[in-house]
Chain A
């Protein structure tokens, strides 16, 4: 069964500081991995995704994530937080050949001025 664990339901960082949001997955085979962002009262927007190939994936708004098979992780990072990054972030996994996305419980990012 697919599952996704996001460590830390709330993360606070100062403006300009490193953002690190953690995601671990469980899968019998390497899955496709996604990060979505949800701003208040809005739908989810794709930040980035890992399918195959390069394990370091760059997304929109300066975010990137690295797929580490040995650690079954797909942590999301951004070198310097901006106030506009305050939102809810969801990690999701899809098993290859399957059609359903399984979402983690989300991490709410607060950026402190």
Chain B
């Protein structure tokens, strides 16, 4: 069974440029998460989807970040315009069920460097 697939793996852009990351979760997983992992830190939740609905986006910087999950499968996270502080690894995860002891399965991440 294929795991969570993310692309691109690496992206280098100049500040003020836009960037987008794509995530394909494990088939059948209704819950999708985007996390940001800064260097030397643990992942922090940006947004969580239940099917196509964003049910927790309280930590998403909405002035420059946006996300969508059309049809409740693939998801895209966009940053426009990017700032130097956005340099991080963006992790996508999915789970069969949300809450409690449901296991999150993570993709390999998209490493963003903003120059």
**A residues with CB within 8 A of B:** 4, 9, 32, 36, 41-46, 49, 51, 90, 92, 94, 96-101, 103-106
For B104, list chain A residues within 8 Å (CB). Answer: 44, 46, 101
Q: In the complex, A48 Cα to B99 Cα: how many Å?
A: 16
Knowing A42-B108, A45-B106, the reply to whether A103 touches B99 (Cβ < 8 A) is no
Q: Which of B42, B93, B100, B105 contacts A94 (CB 8 A)?
A: B100
- Which A residues are CB-close (under 8 A) to B91? 43-44
Cβ-closest 4 pairs across A and B: A103-B42, A43-B106, A51-B101, A44-B106
Given A42-B109, A49-B101, A90-B42, 4 additional A-B pairs, CB 8 A: A43-B91, A43-B109, A49-B103, A105-B41
| Nearest CB of A to B43, in Å | 5
In the assembled complex, which residues on chain A have CB atoms less than 8 Å from the CB atom of B106? Answer: 36, 43-45
Is B53's CB within 8 Å of the partner chain A? no
Interface string of B29-47 (1 = CB under 8 A from A): 0010000000011111100
Question: Is B107 engaged at the interface, CB distance under 8 Å to the other chain?
Answer: yes
Q: Mark out the residues of chain B between 8 and 57 whose CB falls within 8 Å of any chain A CB in the assembled complex.
A: 31, 40-45, 48, 55-56
